[in-house]
A = this chain, B = another copy of it.
Amino acid sequence: MSSMEIETLIGALSKLPGLGPRSARRAVLHLLKRRETGLMPLLHALEAVNARLSTCDTCGNVDTSNPCQICADPRREARILCVVEDVSDLWAFERSRLFPGRYHVLGGRLSALDGVKPEDLNIGPLLQRVEAKGIDEVILAMNATLEGQTTAHYLAERLEAYPVKVSQLAHGLPVGGELDYLDEGTLAQALRARRPVS
């Protein structure tokens, strides 16, 4: 019905998370009708990112510079390292603006099911960073899933060989969470990690 080029564009957009064939079609119509304000800015933004996209040799973050902006920022605390599964987790931390240190992106989590082994993850470079540099603390910020926690356990064991403090994110009641809706696992963790009222 439309030209091959337009159909190809619909196909490429429909692969984005959150967009199906229908909404991709709507998005393309939006772009076609707004060449100057929609299509061209998107095209140029993609070109700019594509021209400079790289994976940070230090931490595994994806950015348009290498080393990435975080590794290159002298204001970021180099002595404290937050290990995350994926770039999306790094972004979540950055959005919160709570973490002053630097990151290490594993690029996944150990998974027997998906056949992901330690050598498939960005673990060697993590150990090298810990070995080489003045790092005081490594925070294992894996997801609270079985595979995430397996990965954290594995890393904790590997890190035992080094004189660094290894910590993990606290588990418990999410802020605003209601006990009634909480799963048993979280409730158990929250109970076990209970603290004295100050």
Interface string of A120-154 (1 = CB under 8 A from B): 00000000000000000000000000000000000
Within 8 A of B (CB), among A37-67: 38-43, 45-50, 52-53, 62-65
Q: Which residues of B contact A3 (CB under 8 A)?
A: 52, 63-65, 69
Q: Give complex CA distance A179, B42 in Å.
A: 45
Contact residues on A (Cβ < 8 Å of other chain), bracket? 35 or more
Alpha-carbon separation in the docked complex, A43 to B25 (Å): 17
- Does chain B have a CB within 8 A of A31? yes
List 12 interface pairs A-B (beta carbons < 8 Å), by A numbering: A1-B95, A2-B69, A6-B49, A8-B41, A9-B49, A15-B38, A19-B27, A25-B91, A29-B91, A31-B46, A32-B87, A35-B53
